[in-house]
Chains A and B, each alone.
Chain A
Amino acid sequence: MTTSLEFSLVRLTALLICLCVACGFAVGADQPHYVVTNDDVSSILPSSLTFYTVEASGLLTMKGKVSTGTGGIGGGYFAANRLNVLHSGNADCVYASQAATGEIEGITVKTLKVSGHANGSKKDTGASNGVGLAMNAQHLYASFTDSSNIGTFRVLQGCKISFVGDITVGGMQGGVIDGMAIHGDILVATYGDGSIESFNISGGVPVSNGDKQNSTAFRHSGSYPSGIDITKDGHFAIFGDTSTTTVIEVSDISSGKLTPTVVYRPGKGINSSNVLLSPDETLLYISNNQWGRISAAFFDKSSGKISEGCFSGVLKGYVTDWSYLASMALREPTGTGGVVYVAEFGAPSSIAEIAVKSAGGKCTLTESSKSPAADPNSQGLLSIGAFPPRSF
Chain B
Amino acid sequence: MRAASRCLLAIMVCGISFLSVAAQCPKRPDPGTVVQDALSLHSVNGVLNAELTMRHSVDVGGFNHYCYNYQTSKGDVEAPTLRLSQGDRLVLDVKDRIESDDAGGMEQMDPISTSSGKVCGDSGKMMLSSTNVHFHGLNVPPTCHQDDVLTTLIQPNTPGFQFNIQIPKNEPPGLYWYHPHVHGFTEFQVNGGAAGALIVEGMDKIHPEVAGLTERVFVVRQQYLVPWVPGPYQLTVNYEVADSPSFPPPVIKMKPNEKQFWRVANATIQDFMPLQFWINGKPQQVQLIALDGYPLAKPRFEDTILVPPAGRAEFIVQAPSQNNEATFMSLGYSTGPTGNPDLEQELAKIDVSQDAEEAPAKEIKAAEATPRLSMKSIKFGGLSEQNPTTLRKLYFSEEFGGTNGPIQFYITVDGQKPVVFEGNEKPVITTHVGAVEDWYVENRALETHAFHIHQIHFEMLEVDGKPVKNQDLRDTIEIPFWEGPGHPYHSVKMRMDFRDPTIAGTFVFHCHILLHEDLGMMHKILVLPK
Contacts and interface: CB of A to CB of B under 8 A. Distances in A.
Contacts of A79: 401-402
A271 B11 CA distance: 28
A192 B401 CA distance: 7
| Category for how many chain A residues contact B | 35 or more
Contact of A128 (B8, B338, B410, B484): B8
A375 interface: no
Among B398, B402, B403, B404, the most chain A Cβ lie within 10 Å of the Cβ of: B402
Contacts of A128: 3-4, 7-8, 404-405
Contact of B404 (A129, A221, A319): A129
B403 A345 contact: yes
Interface string A133-147: 000000000000110
B410 A222 contact: yes
B444 interface: yes
A78 B401 contact: yes
B401 A224 contact: yes
Interface string A230-248: 0000000000001110000
Interface string A68-92: 0000010111111000000000000
B209 to A, nearest CB: 43
Interface stretch (A157-165, A171-179, A350-358): A171-179
A75 B486 contact: no
B399 interface: yes
B369 interface: no
A95 B355 CA distance: 72
A285 interface: no
A75 B446 contact: no
A273 interface: yes
A76 B446 contact: no
A270 B485 CA distance: 8
Among B3, B337, B410, B486, the most chain A Cβ lie within 10 Å of the Cβ of: B337
A29 B445 CA distance: 48
A343 to B, nearest CB: 11
A110 interface: no
Among A75, A176, A226, A270, the most chain B Cβ lie within 10 Å of the Cβ of: A270
A382 B403 CA distance: 9
B417 interface: yes
B400 A290 contact: yes
A75 B403 contact: yes
B403 A222 contact: no
B406 interface: yes
Interface string B378-422: 000000000000000000011111111110101000000111000
A269 interface: yes
A291 B401 contact: no
B402 A76 contact: yes
Contacts of B3: 128
A392 to B, nearest CB: 26
Contacts of A324: 400, 403
B401 A273 contact: yes
Contacts of A345: 403
A268 B485 contact: yes
Contact of B419 (A130, A222, A380): A222
A352 to B, nearest CB: 16
Contacts of B8: 127-128
Interface string B311-355: 000000000000000000000000001100000000000000000
Given A192-B406, A221-B418, A175 B1 contact: yes
Among B11, B406, B446, the most chain A Cβ lie within 10 Å of the Cβ of: B406
Contact of B485 (A129, A178, A269): A269
Given A76-B404, A192-B406, A270-B446, A224 B417 contact: no
A319 B406 CA distance: 21
A178 B401 contact: yes
Interface string B440-454: 000011100000000
Interface in A257-291: 268-271, 273, 289-291
Contacts, number: 96
A370 interface: no
B399 A224 contact: yes
A336 interface: no
Among B4, B400, B405, the most chain A Cβ lie within 10 Å of the Cβ of: B400
A323 B400 contact: no
Contacts of B400: 78, 242, 271, 273, 289-290, 324
Nearest to B403: A75
Contacts of A122: none
Contacts of B1: 174-176
A176 B4 contact: yes
A19 to B, nearest CB: 51
Contact of A77 (B397, B401, B408, B417): B401
A223 interface: yes
Nearest to B447: A290
Contacts of A175: 1, 406
Given A268-B485, A273-B401, A290 B337 contact: yes
Contacts of B401: 77-79, 178, 192, 224, 226, 242, 273
A43 to B, nearest CB: 10
Nearest to B1: A174
Interface in A275-309: 289-292
Interface in A204-230: 220-224, 226
B14 to A, nearest CB: 12
A318 B445 CA distance: 16
A382 B410 CA distance: 25
A221 B402 contact: no
B385 to A, nearest CB: 38
A345 B403 CA distance: 9
Contact of A78 (B11, B402, B419): B402
Contacts of B446: 270, 290
Contact of A130 (B11, B402, B444, B486): B402
A224 B402 CA distance: 12
Contact of B418 (A78, A193, A222): A222
Nearest to A220: B417
Contacts of B403: 75-76, 78, 323-324, 345, 380, 382
Nearest to A288: B485
B337 A244 contact: no
Interface in A52-76: 73, 75-76
Contacts of B406: 175, 192-193
Nearest to B11: A127
A129 B4 contact: yes
Contacts of A78: 400-403
A132 B249 CA distance: 48
A290 B338 contact: yes
Interface in B1-26: 1, 3-4, 7-8, 11
Contacts of B484: 270, 291-292
Among A127, A176, A178, A222, the most chain B Cβ lie within 10 Å of the Cβ of: A222
B396 to A, nearest CB: 10
Interface string A327-357: 0000000000000000001000000000000
Interface string A353-384: 00000000000000000000000000010100
A75 B337 contact: no
8 tightest A-B CB contacts, nearest first: A75-B403, A77-B402, A268-B485, A222-B418, A128-B7, A128-B4, A244-B397, A242-B401
7 contacts: A77-B401, A127-B11, A128-B8, A175-B1, A244-B445, A269-B485, A323-B403
Interface of B: 1, 3-4, 7-8, 11, 337-338, 397-406, 408, 410, 417-419, 444-446, 484-486
Given A176-B4, A323-B337, 12 more contacts: A75-B404, A77-B401, A127-B7, A127-B11, A129-B4, A175-B1, A193-B406, A243-B399, A268-B486, A271-B399, A291-B484, A318-B337
